[in-house]
Chains A and B, each alone.
Chain A
Amino acid sequence: LSSVPLQVLFYVNGIYYIFYFVATLAMIVYKSQVFSYPDDFLAPDLALLFIMAVLEALRLYLGSKGNLTEEEAPLGLSLVMTVGSVILSVYFLVWQTYVLKADVIINAVLLFTYGLESVLKVTAIAAFVS
């Protein structure tokens, strides 16, 4: 049977991620105006944010599909992509050019969500395999 908590978590993650993307983009714009933010530092931050958005959309789609069709392959792929998302989230938490307190808060929430998702995915895969 598909895991209902996992599906709920996917749904919440999707909505939260939209908020996260808009907030991070707005804060980068704010930082570039208020602080000295040269182009050499601005470009990687923006690029990684967009890559993260694409990755996130793909990951949620695969995970949702795998969960609903009870197949472990897409779910496993989604789990692997979660690792990439975690790395990107850690980048925005620690290695960004300017880390504001708001950045810390939303990235922490995102990481917590990823952790919870990963646990539920592993459980679901185990359930589907057996």
Chain B
Amino acid sequence: VAKLCVCDLLVAQCDVNCCCDPDCSAADFSLFTTCSVPLVTGDSRLCSQKAATYSLDVEANPPERIFKLIDQINPSVFCIHATNYKQALSFGSPEMPTAENFDQLLERFGGATFSAEPDSWNMDTDAQNPSDANETYRYEYGVPIQTADAFLRLPSPVVSSWCSDVNPAGFLVNRATKCTRSVSVGQCGNTQALSMLSYINSSILAKRHEFVFQVNITVQSIVVQSLNGMRTLPNGSDVPRLPMILDELCINVVLGVSYHITYTDAGEIIEAAASFVLGAINEEALSIQQSFEISFTQVNTNPVPLSGNPGYVVGLPVRAGFRPQGYPFPLQAGFAALNANKYGQLTILQSTSHQDCLAAQGARTPVLFGYNMASGCKLRITAAMKCQPLTQTLLDLLKGQNFPEYVASFGNSQAQDVLDWVPITHLYTSDQSDNDRIHNALQSSCQIPVSLEIEVKWTKYGSLVNPQARIVNVTATITTTALKQLRSGRERTIPVMSSVVFTDISSPAEPGYKAWPTINVKLPFDFFFPFV
């Protein structure tokens, strides 16, 4: 206690009014006015302890410092007589990190919080760790894709529109980003971000944390874009092209990268391919816009874009297909994926600007769920046209090639689940009344189809708070009209129409309530005894 001095702040110099400072000489003491620290003791709760007192004797000339070591007694009956716990009265000094205990200290104190109690209470966390070992080897949704050195990067704009290169690509997260990068023609060959090699030189780990299996990124295609925006596919598309300066332009600069990753359902990556769009920049350009995209496909499947999961989303195309011949099959056969159009969608005739049916062969637009559509064209009939070929042409026009037989009832119906597909019912009506038909039938005139109306009945399925749209019934009605024979040389124009209507046939949901509790009060049998 005699050596402790709280006010000794300056090293090798005398602090003012600090009577315990060993750097002060007697001459310094004579200049002091008071002692800032009169008493230095240990813990005041001890019953008896040594204390050092410092005081100035101002009577003497020059003033002197008086230093006394006394025993201080705590008069309270609850003073500490003795302790057998040596850390009781002093602050514990923390462990110095060494190479041996660093990991343990990091585990204890490395998080955002830590408790003052010793580690013995965290026994149960150790038990959980071994079971996770198997799980960490497979990629899961959102987990960054690891490469040999770090992560597969998908540069994207962060905060501002400038590209940030530290954004990792997440597994099964399909993303497309566009960002701006600053360039200078002088740094054409040196900038890594403009060269296609920097996007393909890392190899992706097939499984997390396992460096044994690595997948190289192959170049799938290269498209060259000229300064005015025209894109061409050059010969030798697989050879990597490096940026270089040609005629004061920097060519082979990466303007877009599109990654396609193939994965298995065990969470492993088995293939990676990249398609590039290379362009040229001239010397005045200070920044270019790069676009990056990544998409994931499961191995051995054809990627079919879903129209909803599970209910149809308004605005997405209605999916349709065919049943293969010889149904019923065992369950693997399912439906053909190639159907109404390339993407398995229901389509209707698309109106064109010149409105001539025969000239607009083949233009069809997919039917989008929830959007009622109508389209049409005008057909010019001359006397020379025969009935049967005309009927066939109009039918092809209205229905298109490969009019599907089945429509998916949910947006994510798989081809294997045959019960999830709704058959299309066909109706044929005529736009004449019965009398006229009988009359015309006697004349055996020609019936040509002039309108196709597809009515899609859908219902709300599932929970009240998140109802999913489900297609229940699809009816295709073809209306025919009689074609009267024309005198030769004359022409007629008839309108041909097709339309799609979506009808909601969901019954309103009725919430059910439990019966309200009733108070079952009955008077006793003989309540009104004397009178009843």
Contact = CB atoms under 8 A, between A and B. Distances in A.
A98 B82 CA distance: 6
Contacts of B81: 99-101, 103-104
From A97, A98, A103, residue with most partner B Cβ within 10 Å: A98
Interface of A: 27, 30, 35-36, 41, 94-105
A41 B47 contact: no
Contacts of A27: 78
B83 A102 contact: no
Given A94-B82, A97-B83, A99-B83, A105 B88 contact: no
B77 A97 contact: no
B77 A99 contact: no
B84 A101 contact: no
A101 B79 contact: yes
Contacts of A35: 80, 88
B85 interface: yes
Nearest to B85: A97
From B80, B82, B88, residue with most partner A Cβ within 10 Å: B82
A99 B82 contact: yes
B300 interface: no
B77 A105 contact: yes
Contacts of B76: 101
B85 A98 contact: yes
Interface string B60-102: 0000000000000000111111111101100000000000000
A101 B77 contact: yes
Nearest to A96: B84
A100 B76 CA distance: 10
A90 B456 CA distance: 94
Nearest to B92: A36
Determine the interface band of chain B, counting residues with CB < 8 A from chain A. Answer: 10 to 19
Contact of B80 (A94, A100, A105): A100
Contacts of A30: 78
Contacts of A99: 80-84
B47 A101 contact: yes
Contacts of B88: 35-36, 97-98
A102 B76 CA distance: 9
Nearest to B91: A36
A22 to B, nearest CB: 16
Nearest to A98: B83
A101 B87 CA distance: 20
Contact of A102 (B77, B82, B85): B77
Q: What are the 10 A-B residue pairs with the smallest beta carbon separation, nearest first? A: A99-B82, A99-B81, A102-B77, A97-B85, A100-B78, A101-B79, A101-B81, A104-B81, A101-B77, A98-B83
A102 B77 CA distance: 5
Contacts of A41: 85
Contacts of A105: 77
Nearest to B79: A101
B78 A102 contact: yes
Interface in B152-211: none
Contacts of B84: 95-97, 99
Contacts of A103: 81
A103 B79 CA distance: 10
Contacts of A95: 84
B79 A100 contact: yes
A95 B87 CA distance: 15
Nearest to A36: B88
A128 to B, nearest CB: 41
Nearest to A94: B82
A101 B408 CA distance: 88
Contacts of A101: 47, 76-79, 81
Contacts of B77: 100-102, 105
B328 to A, nearest CB: 72
A95 B84 CA distance: 6
A103 to B, nearest CB: 7
A94 B87 CA distance: 17
A36 B87 contact: yes
6 contacts: A27-B78, A99-B81, A99-B84, A101-B78, A102-B77, A104-B81
Given A98-B80, A99-B83, A100-B81, 5 more contacts: A97-B83, A99-B81, A100-B77, A100-B79, A102-B77
B46 to A, nearest CB: 10
A45 to B, nearest CB: 10
A35 B76 CA distance: 16
A4 B83 CA distance: 40
Interface in B78-136: 78-85, 87-88
B145 to A, nearest CB: 48
Contacts of B82: 94, 99
Contacts of B87: 36
A120 B70 CA distance: 45
A97 B87 CA distance: 11
